[in-house]
Amino acid sequence: MVSIIEVAKRAGVSIATVSRVVTNSAYVEAPTREKVEKAIKELNYVPNLLAKGLKEKSGGFIGLVISEISHEFFSSVINYIEAFVSSRGYTLILVNTEVGNGQTEDGIVGRLLGRKVDGVILMAQLRNTQLFNKLQAMGIPLVLLYGNKPIGSIKRVRLDEYQTGRIAGEHLIGLGHRKLFCITGNPGDSSEPRLLGFRDAIGESGIALDESRVFRGDFEYGSGMAAARYIVEKKMEVTGIWAQNDLMAIGAMNELFRYGRRVPEEMSILGVDDSPIASFSYPRLTTLRQPVREMALKAVEIVMDLHDGKMVEEMEVVYQPELIVRETTRRTD
């Protein structure tokens, strides 16, 4: 079956322009329209379900494909996206790809097309790029939010994960810590660049972080607890711990308290996200704040601009984290 991408290539125009011609949803100059119509005829292109059902520029649906919705951090991301989408007169369609929920790439595509989405924001770590390819081939505007690995020509909005690790390392080194430990998240887009940035920052002060001082967690509270037990049971000399999210940091802190270890008097701990629990914990957690609101707004703006046929020149928009110093880090003796 001929895709809208092939029509766009044959006509020498954007996918959005082909969609506007097919749906007659916006003005297209006569010479451009003629090129598109000629390409459609030559390729015998049949408009897909999306093209037939596209609404005009408001009142439609925006899809959000996400692989994790239980964490407090992702809940706040979803809330921001929904608010911004609603303010534009659209309705958010949430699709969860979490392992074990029975969703397949074909099922996701079918669900999105069935609701005639006008754009999709992707926050899912999928097994392959089949979903991206299918949605793109159908001319649906796509934006990758929090994706560090580029996927074709899809626009990206992301956090500078490497710099996140650097700031964490610089903060602990600046407080005089030399006996460091890192709790990573599960392998993926964010975990490795964060670890690399952390290693590079402390390495500039002559500190090596060997694998015995890296606990491979999964961004869950329990892996923070397990990392703390590992430190205590191995009788490791540690004065500074960086966990790659707040949930693991608080899990580690609470488990250290159970073993009678004091934070920050004996060990400093910091996390990432600045989720609400960071300021509710005792002591209050030092963390690296992600500009969630700004990132969510940018993702919505880009997908809307793409839908409206506007030119979006930047392939990616990168945001920087902000160090929020509270009570769980202090200068070591």
Q: What angle do CA 152, 156, 161 make, to 5 degrees?
A: 115
d(CA 163, CA 11): 42
Domain assignment present for 277: yes
For residue 213, give the 3-state DSSP assignment.
Answer: helix
Domain assignment present for 331: no
Domain assignment present for 324: no
- Measured in residues, the chain has a length of 333
Closest CA to 238 of 250, 247, 230, 246: 230
Cβ proximity of 137 and 126 under 8 Å: no
Domain total of the chain: 3
13 token code pair: 């125009």
Distance of CA 185 to the CA centre of its chain: 14
Give the range of the structural domain holding residue 187, as residue numbers without chain letter: 161-289
Predicted local confidence at residue 49, as pLDDT: 43
CATH code where residue 78 lies? 3.40.50.2300
For residue 95, give the 3-state DSSP assignment.
Answer: strand
For residue 296, the cross-strand partners are: none
Distance of CA 163 to the CA centre of its chain: 15
Closest CA to 193 of 217, 224, 164, 151: 164
Q: What is the pTM of this model?
A: 0.79
Quickly list H helices, 187-308: 191-203, 221-233, 246-258, 276-280, 292-307
Domain assignment present for 259: yes
Relative orientation angle of helices 130-137 and 105-114, to the nearest 10 degrees: 30
Strands, sheet with 214-216, edge to edge from the N-terminal-most edge strand: 214-216, 180-184, 240-243, 268-273, 286-289, 322-324
Domain assignment present for 325: no
282 plus 168 within the same structural domain? yes
120 plus 221 within the same structural domain? no
104 plus 172 within the same structural domain? no
272 plus 207 within the same structural domain? yes
86 plus 155 within the same structural domain? yes
Domain assignment present for 37: yes
128 plus 167 within the same structural domain? no
Q: Which residues contact 245 (CB under 8 A, 6 or more apart)?
A: 73, 185, 219, 271, 272, 273, 275
d(CA 155, CA 60): 21
Per-residue pLDDT of the chain (333 residues; tens, 9 = 90+): 577 778 888 999 887 777 777 766 556 788 888 898 898 888 877 665 444 444 444 448 899 988 766 677 888 899 999 999 988 888 898 887 765 455 566 667 667 766 678 899 988 665 556 777 777 777 889 999 987 677 777 899 999 999 999 999 999 999 999 999 999 998 776 899 999 999 999 999 999 999 999 999 999 999 999 999 999 999 999 999 999 999 999 999 999 999 999 999 999 999 999 998 999 999 999 999 999 999 999 999 999 999 888 888 888 999 999 999 999 999 997
Strands 286-289 and 322-324: antiparallel
170 plus 285 within the same structural domain? yes
223 plus 241 within the same structural domain? yes
pLDDT in tens, 156-171: 999 999 999 999 999 9
108 plus 186 within the same structural domain? no
Predicted local confidence at residue 104, as pLDDT: 62
254 plus 303 within the same structural domain? no
125 plus 270 within the same structural domain? no
pLDDT in tens, 65-114: 887 666 778 888 999 999 999 888 888 988 877 654 555 666 676 677 66
How far lies 299's CA from each of 82, 113, 121, 151, in Å?
Answer: 12, 20, 7, 16
Predicted local confidence at residue 51, as pLDDT: 42
166 plus 219 within the same structural domain? yes
Predicted local confidence at residue 44, as pLDDT: 78
Domain assignment present for 209: yes
For residue 286, the cross-strand partners are: 270
Distance of CA 264 to the CA centre of its chain: 30
Domain assignment present for 109: yes
- What stretch of H or E contains 319? strand 316-319
d(CA 279, CA 117): 37
